[in-house]
Amino acid sequence: MNPLKSSSAPPGRAPNRRGHADLELVVPAFNEAARLPATLAEVTGFLSAKPWHTRVVVVDNGSTDDTAAIVDARGWDVEVVVVGCSRPGKGAAVRRGIAGSTARLVGFIDADLSTPVPTLNQAIAELEAGATAAIASRHAPGAELTHPQPLLRRLGGSVFRLLARRLVPGIHDTQCGFKIFDRVAVQQALHRCQVNGFAFDVELLRQLRRAGGRIAEIPVTWTDDARSTFRPLRDGRAAFTDLLRLYRADRLGTSQAGAR
């Protein structure tokens, strides 16, 4: 029996929505032509051995290389499609990919595959057990770092986690690029999200938690990829700016709630 199958009929297709699947994995991609062939080969090879109806959705986030052509030019072990996203930012790309899904479960993974693909087994088990989101974690008890990030990124990440934990209590790692969701819940949460940059994950998890969803954190063995497109000074500054926006919005919401 397929554990992902729902007893209800698939939802009707809205404009720009893809056909039904049990699981869709979104891969945000900005100039990832060099990494995508190996990434897609590993991901689709893993998925092809599962009894699920799956689809991989590469969101081309304004690439100037051959990202889209690389995907279209090859045959893969499961269906792979490319959609475009002209708005910059990881959050915009993930939102674009998830918004078009009609799958029961949908999630996103980073193109560098720093999180092992088999993590998907435990993620789906958590969702089947009632979680709204199952997220990989590099800092939860039991996690391991086989190739740590450079010192500057580690220091910045420590401060970011400290601040993010006040917005999403109990979560050790909001930023690991491997998250799977109940599709209906995450689409509803995305309607309430405003951030498009690297702090996108914090706002999304906060919205899911506010709606009563349970977030399962999965410790993983994680390997840093030195080819990361994240630039500590430019992107780090933007991520902290987005966090401050979330803090201000949170204080404003608390003040308005107290005034009613």
Give pLDDT tens digits along the chain (260 positions): 455 754 333 333 344 678 889 999 999 999 999 999 999 999 999 999 999 999 999 999 999 999 999 888 788 999 999 999 988 888 899 999 999 999 999 999 999 999 999 999 999 999 999 999 999 999 999 999 887 677 767 787 788 888 888 899 999 999 999 999 999 999 999 999 988 887 899 999 999 999 999 999 999 998 876 555 555 555 667 777 888 888 777 765 543 333 34
Residue 15 sits at φ, ψ, to 5 deg, of -55, 140
For residue 94, the model assigns a pLDDT of 95
Please name the residue that has the structure tokens 């009609």.
Answer: 102
User: What is the distance of C-alpha 220 from the center of its chain?
Assistant: 15
For residue 214, the model assigns a pLDDT of 98
CA 229 – CA 209 distance, rounded (Å): 29
Q: Give this prediction's pTM.
A: 0.85
Kindly report each contact of residues 81-89 with a partner whose C-beta sits within 8 Å and lies 24 or more positions away, as own/partner. Answer: 81/18, 81/55, 81/56, 81/57, 82/57, 82/58, 83/57, 83/58, 83/59, 84/59, 84/60, 85/59, 85/60, 85/61, 86/62, 87/196, 88/61, 88/62, 88/196, 89/61, 89/196, 89/197, 89/200
**Residues forming a β-bridge with 178:** 109
Asked if 10 contacts 90 with a C-beta cutoff of 8 angstroms, the reply is no
For residue 1, the model assigns a pLDDT of 42
For residue 5, the model assigns a pLDDT of 58
CA 209 – CA 119 distance, rounded (Å): 22
CA 241 – CA 233 distance, rounded (Å): 12
Q: What percent of the chain has pLDDT over 70?
A: 84
For residue 218, the model assigns a pLDDT of 98
